Amino acid sequence: MITLDYTSLNRRWGESGLMYSSWMSYAFSLGYLSNIAHYFNNNASGDVSLHIEQNNLQGADYREGRIHFYGSIDILRNTFCDWYRCSSAGNGGRVVKRINSTPYLESLISDYGFGIFQRDGQVTLDIFPTEEPDIILGIMCDYLGVNGFEDTIEIEDAFWEGFNI
């Protein structure tokens, strides 16, 4: 479901997840995630990867959707403020911060056609954009139009700004 609020209630940690502060921030982040060149697991200089960790196979209640951020804390804090606000510690290795938000990743898959890929011998699933960015942008703008947004030009600009950084 396309929304600004991707928080969920976890019986162990309480409410957690990603909440966007505006449609501009949402569009910027979606544009960024729509560009495969930004993905670390596709391009060693990329700053992000999306995963579904199948913790449910190891006894946990559910699987977890996570954004792994590999760039600097300053970039995360200043460019992706909403991600920074809900981020948690990295993994002690290359992952600087993790953004836990299963509902957001599920939306990327179900609403925008992002694909799920499993590498041989891996339990963790990788998520990548599989549609052209124009299609992803069109889906978002169609949603906004149906929900009363008459002028999406600035939101479209934010999408392309995120895509092109």
Domain boundaries, given as residue ranges, for the chain: 5-26+39-131
| Distance from C-alpha of 60 to C-alpha of 47, rounded to nearest angstrom | 28
Please count the other Cβ atoms lying within 10 Å of the Cβ belonging to residue 38: 22
| Distance from C-alpha of 46 to C-alpha of 26, rounded to nearest angstrom | 20
**Percentages of the chain per state (helix, strand, coil), in multiples of 5:** 40, 25, 35
pTM: 0.92
User: Are β-strands 14-19 and 5-10 bridged in parallel, bridged antiparallel, or unpaired?
Assistant: antiparallel
Regions in the chain scoring below 50 on pLDDT: none
Please count the other Cβ atoms lying within 10 Å of the Cβ belonging to residue 45: 9
| Distance from C-alpha of 114 to C-alpha of 109, rounded to nearest angstrom | 4
